[in-house]
Amino acid sequence: MNYADRLEAAVRDKQSACLVGLDPHLALLPDEFAVARDTSAPRAERAAAVEDFLCQVIEIVAPYTPIVKPQSAFFEVLGADGVRAWENVCAAAHGAGLLVLGDVKRGDIGSTASAYASAFLEGDAGTDPATLCDAVTVNPWLGSDSIQPFLDACERTDKGLYVLVRTSNPSSGEFQDSSDPPMMDRVADAVSEWGSQLMGASGFSSVGAVVGATHPEELIRLRERMPTTPLLIPGYGAQGAGAAEVLPAFTSGLSGAIVNSSRGILFAKSDLPWKDATLAAIQQMQAAFGSGLVTRH
């Protein structure tokens, strides 16, 4: 079953279009994992604390989300030890029955893109497949020949991609929205074209797009422009967008989009102990993007 169909099935199974971003900001980890920010501690110990925290998060959120999204940067900050923790966290998420979307935003030419696709999606005979991702985010700036090696890997392995079309950050318009027609439209058209190679039985492609919830009118426009493209929606929660802004991303019921929250789940502001705060936050989010969404939509 290809990635698009596996995702649709997982969303239906959990009755949840949530995506929990695993962004272990060292400075924000609960006190019991404080060794992660102790620069006098060996890096392997610091990375183990990050891993321990995220494995506990995974256990808490697994009943309420079909998929998690580890953010590579917060692992790479601890070097090779951090990357070992990344591998272990991917394996733990798979062990909990979750899909894993690697937020790596890679983008490079031909043979280098192939190496990245191998690193995150495909591996080789020596790779533990549990440590790989089911999908990754990619940057389109270098054009088709930087994407094709990922498409080839996705076809061979039933994995998926999310291309950065319109990001949620304040300065995203500088290049994505500064020409006429806006460059994001051209990228969106390319995403549709790339995606036509990887259509699933669900009617969706395994080539998705990142479209920020912080630009609601563009979300509506881009949803129409890419009707068979699964969307990854950042910007909900900590970045300011509410549930209403996100709804147009869905095509029908829970189909067609997953909504990310990272800090809002991992570091939920609350007087409760962190595990209780995280549980309450994911339950609240699942209520918004689960059966509640179906009713309202």
The catalytically annotated residue of 105, 159, 269, 275 is 105
Q: Which is nearer to a second copy, 180 or 271 (CB)?
A: 180
Helix (H) or strand (E) holding 18: strand 18-22
3-state DSSP call for residue 137?
strand
- Residue numbers 222-241 binding a second copy by CB under 8 A: none
Residue 17: HSE in the Cβ half-sphere, 13 Å Cα cutoff: 28
Task: Tell me: cis bond preceding 24? Omega within 30 of 0 counts.
Answer: no
Helices (H), the chain: 3-14, 43-61, 73-76, 79-95, 110-117, 144-157, 173-176, 183-195, 216-225, 243-246, 263-266, 274-288, 291-296
Helices (H), 158-262: 173-176, 183-195, 216-225, 243-246
Q: Quick one: which of 31, 40, 217, 252 contacts a second copy (CB under 8 A)?
A: 40
Q: Which is nearer to a second copy, 14 or 69 (CB)?
A: 69
Residue 167: name the closest of 129, 116, 219 by CA.
219
Amino acid in position 271: D
Q: Which is nearer to a second copy, 16 or 261 (CB)?
A: 261
Q: Is 119 in the site for a second copy (CB under 8 A)?
A: yes
State both tokens at 246.
């996100």
Q: Which is nearer to a second copy, 140 or 237 (CB)?
A: 140
Q: Quick one: which of 32, 145, 155, 224 contacts a second copy (CB under 8 A)?
A: 145
Spell out, one character per residue from 158 to 197, where the chain touches a second copy: x when CB under 8 A holds, - when not: ------x--xxxxxxxxxx-xxx--x--xx--x-------
Q: Is 109 in the site for a second copy (CB under 8 A)?
A: yes
Assess whether 105 carries a catalytic annotation.
yes
Active site residues: 105
Instruction: Catalog residues that contact a second copy under the rule CB under 8 A.
Output: 23, 25, 39-41, 43, 46, 71, 73-74, 76-77, 79-84, 86-87, 105-113, 115-116, 118-120, 124-127, 131, 139-146, 164, 167-176, 178-180, 183, 186-187, 190
